[in-house]
A and B are shown apart, each in its own frame.
Chain A
Amino acid sequence: MPERRFYNTGGSPKMKNLAELQALRDDMKTKIGVRKDGETRMRIVVGMATCGIAAGARPVLAACVKEIETRKLTDVVVAQTGCIGICQFEPVVEIYDADGSKTTYVHVTPEKVPRIIASHVVNGSPVVEYTIGANAN
């Protein structure tokens, strides 16, 4: 077996009490959140076909992941999908609520992401002006 990089605990000082162990656990939990099966409240799906990537979907995806991580939203998943056929509106981000209803955001930029997540994902009210309904014409 080839030597893998040995995981270094960062030379962290020894844990002195239960509280330190709990703090480390809570911190680590957010980092492994994506590995959960079926316990998610919401799914954020970024269109990552050629059209999406060309229009700048990659930084949008990165912004989504970063925002989820900063806010420690462990019950939200960020995923990708292929082309959904509205290439002129890319980058497209779809948010699926727990009840399965879907909101489609179009022409998303990394700058728009924090507002979408704060308003829609955290507080449950979609940002209507960014949705496809408001931009169809």
Chain B
Amino acid sequence: MVRSHILVCGGTGCHSSGSDKLFENFESELKAAGLADEVKVIMTGCFGLCALGPVVVIYPEGAFYSQVKLEDVKEIVQEHLLKGRLVKRLLYTETVAEDTILSLDNTDFYRKQKRVALQNCGVIDPENINEYIAYDGYMALAKVLTEMTPQDVIKEISDSGLRGRGGGGFPTGKKWSFAAAQPAGDKYVCCNADEGDPGAFMDRSVLEGDPHCILEAMAIAGYAIGSSHGYIYVRAEYPIAVKRLKIAISQAREVGLLGDNILGTGFNFDINIRLGAGAFVCGEETALLNSIEGKRGDPRPRPPFPAVKGLFEKPTIINNVETFANVTRIIRNGSAWFASMGTEKSKGTKVFALGGKINHTGLVEIPMGTTLREIIEEIGGGIPNGKKFKAVQTGGPSGGCIPACHMDIPVDYDNLIAIGSIMGSGGMIVMDEDNCMVDIARFFLEFTADESCGKCTPCRVGIRRMLEILEKITSGNGEMEDIPKLENLCNFIKENALCGLGQTAPNPVLSTLRYFRDEYEAHIINKRCPAGVCKKLLNYYIDADKCKGCTLCARNCPATAISGEVKKAHVIDNEKCIKCGACIDSCKFGAISKR
């Protein structure tokens, strides 16, 4: 008896802008209007357009309401659900036509996207296993258990060309075949959900929007390598994801899709959750294994690789959340379908978390081979406030900055490495002319220096020394020999650090040195920060012609660095000035500038 579904986004983005309250209000308003039996409210995962949250979508019309507030709920219920009239002022502007609404697929944000890993995000209720099953959930597991041998499964995954989505890009089928080749006995399947890159939220969105697909894929992996036990290592900072995973596991156990003798085939598989305390290094696979075992999260030397000697010294495969999310779809649709998307060496799609100076902050999934320009200008809607694009940072602290001249490069694993960055897990931070590239490099090094586990010297000491040099440059004390010193350290750490995190930590410095060396030189030679970010290199000036002598700036200056008489031009004493910018904000005549 349900004629209409209200989908309220329950991803972390929309949740933090109050979507849980919206959900409750919809239920109570529907009840008050007597519609509770014919309209159903569903809390889903992320729709992707986080910049416009909270998002509410109403079917069958497919009306996409954005930035919905509590006080709008009554109007939507009364107008849309009772009288069938769209509430136009709340519709996402790109979907509004003359007197009908256009499909979301035709908007700039969604047109070039292809949702594979995010297929069910924003479509199903992640806390209801039956909705997942309605969208062919667990059919891939059923197919594997009833029609395929473990070798068939590995071949299918290998043929699809799927590569690890956590950052390394190692072929998934190959990883599985290594573990499958180990002698039978205890083996483990691990899911790496310890997403730690600043600005990345792809894995969180999959876990929140479609937790069952991870469980299903892990069971498939278990069948392929001969394992009956899985662990999901997820960070405790993702409370919604953890809660939905727990619900998903208990529901799957209840209906017998996890546990003993799944679907009467004699295959056993169960999954446990381990919460991470948020150390960045625990996203590194060997440190993650230590952490699951209850030990300190230090990386282990490789070899032996986890596929041979992993969790509890048993053969183990570790795959990232997004990798697993692709597995169920490959099994259902076939490897040829998956391999038909993407570029020659990078098949399928990739999810990116768009952030920074971009209009459509949010989650996008695009076929491999889409250009950066398409992602940033078309899907992302360009840079806000008419500013100029400067660079895009991919791969988080392990990645690099890509300048405007490489905007037309098709995004795949190998192309990004060739231009000095990496695919990484999928964070994409856009920077405009107001960002200082030396400061960005310093920011990422500060992060890796803090998060270094300290086990190996190149990472523990080397990164600290690099950070010191960068701080020296941004504070105006840099010397020209600092640049070759930095480069030496970068190359040494790259070759000698123990784990992937240390080896890639110099990337932000190397790539900014490669493309924005002039900014480093401006800091060192001219003692100037071209973007106006590095505080110690800035001086504030009052334009005597524009200043009316209103004294507002002098009254707002916390350091009493501004002097001058009423109705006469004021002056800033740059010795006293603490570069807080309060004067610029207070001046009504635009007379104060920094340079």
B229-258 Cβ-contact flags toward A at 8 Å (1 or 0):
000000000011001000100010011110
Which residues in chain B, 1-59, are within 8 Å of chain A measured between CB atoms?
A: 1-5, 7, 15, 20, 23-24, 38, 43, 59
Tell whether A129 is near chain B: CB-to-CB under 8 Å. Answer: no
Would B136 and A25 count as touching, CB distance under 8 A? Answer: yes
Tell whether B61 is near chain A: CB-to-CB under 8 Å. Answer: yes
- Provided the pairs A28-B133, A37-B105 are in contact, do residues A79 and B251 lie with their beta carbons within 8 angstroms? no
Give Cα distance in the complex from A6 to B137, angstroms. 20
Would B131 and A28 count as touching, CB distance under 8 A? Answer: yes
- Provided the pairs A24-B130, A25-B139, A48-B83 are in contact, do residues A37 and B62 lie with their beta carbons within 8 angstroms? yes
Chain A interface: which size bin?
Answer: 35 or more
B406-418 Cβ-contact flags toward A at 8 Å (1 or 0):
0000000000000
If over half of A's interface residues share one DSSP class (helix, strand or loop), that class is named, otherwise mixed; here it is mixed
Would A65 and B38 count as touching, CB distance under 8 A? Answer: yes
* 27 pairs of residues in contact across A and B, judged by CB atoms under 8 Å: A1-B20, A2-B24, A6-B247, A7-B127, A7-B247, A9-B129, A9-B130, A15-B255, A16-B263, A16-B264, A18-B142, A25-B134, A32-B124, A32-B131, A35-B60, A37-B104, A37-B105, A40-B60, A47-B84, A62-B38, A64-B3, A65-B2, A79-B61, A79-B84, A80-B84, A81-B84, A81-B85
Closest to B124 in A: A32
Partner of B103, one of A6, A38, A61, A64: A38
Closest to A83 in B: B83
Residues of chain A with a CB closer than 8 A to B127's CB: 4, 6-7
Partner of A24, one of B60, B103, B133, B243: B133
- Provided the pairs A15-B256, A29-B134, A34-B60 are in contact, do residues A69 and B1 lie with their beta carbons within 8 angstroms? yes
Closest to B141 in A: A21
Within the complex, the shortest CB–CB distance from A23 to chain B, in Å, comes to 10
Q: A18-B263, A32-B124, A80-B83 are in contact. List 5 more A-B contacts (CB 8 A).
A: A7-B251, A15-B255, A21-B138, A21-B263, A25-B134
Tell whether B123 is near chain A: CB-to-CB under 8 Å. Answer: yes
Residues of chain A with a CB closer than 8 A to B240's CB: 1
A13-47 Cβ-contact flags toward B at 8 Å (1 or 0):
01111100110110011011011111010000111
Residues of chain A with a CB closer than 8 A to B5's CB: 32, 34-35
Tell whether A127 is near chain B: CB-to-CB under 8 Å. Answer: no
Chain B interface: which size bin?
Answer: 35 or more
Residues of chain A with a CB closer than 8 A to B130's CB: 7, 9, 24, 28
- Provided the pairs A1-B240, A21-B139, A25-B139 are in contact, do residues A31 and B2 lie with their beta carbons within 8 angstroms? yes
Tell whether A66 is near chain B: CB-to-CB under 8 Å. Answer: yes
A residues engaging B (CB < 8 A)? 1-2, 4, 6-7, 9, 12, 14-18, 21-22, 24-25, 28-29, 31-32, 34-38, 40, 45-50, 53, 61-62, 64-66, 69, 77-82
B residues engaging A (CB < 8 A)? 1-5, 7, 15, 20, 23-24, 38, 43, 59-62, 81-85, 103-105, 123-125, 127-131, 133-139, 142, 146, 239-240, 243, 247, 251, 254-257, 259, 263-264
Residues of chain A with a CB closer than 8 A to B259's CB: 14
A-B interface, 6 closest residue pairs, ranked by CB to CB distance from nearest? A80-B84, A14-B256, A28-B134, A65-B3, A77-B60, A7-B128
Within the complex, the shortest CB–CB distance from A81 to chain B, in Å, comes to 5
Closest to A5 in B: B127
- B1, B2, B5, B84, most chain A CB atoms within 10 A: B84
Partner of B59, one of A14, A34, A47, A80: A34
- B43, B129, B255, B257, most chain A CB atoms within 10 A: B255
Residues of chain A with a CB closer than 8 A to B243's CB: 1
Within the complex, the shortest CB–CB distance from A20 to chain B, in Å, comes to 8
Closest to B35 in A: A58
- Provided the pairs A7-B129, A15-B257, A35-B7 are in contact, do residues A78 and B1 lie with their beta carbons within 8 angstroms? no
- A16, A28, A66, most chain B CB atoms within 10 A: A28
Within the complex, the shortest CB–CB distance from B103 to chain A, in Å, comes to 6
Would B1 and A14 count as touching, CB distance under 8 A? Answer: no
Closest to B82 in A: A48
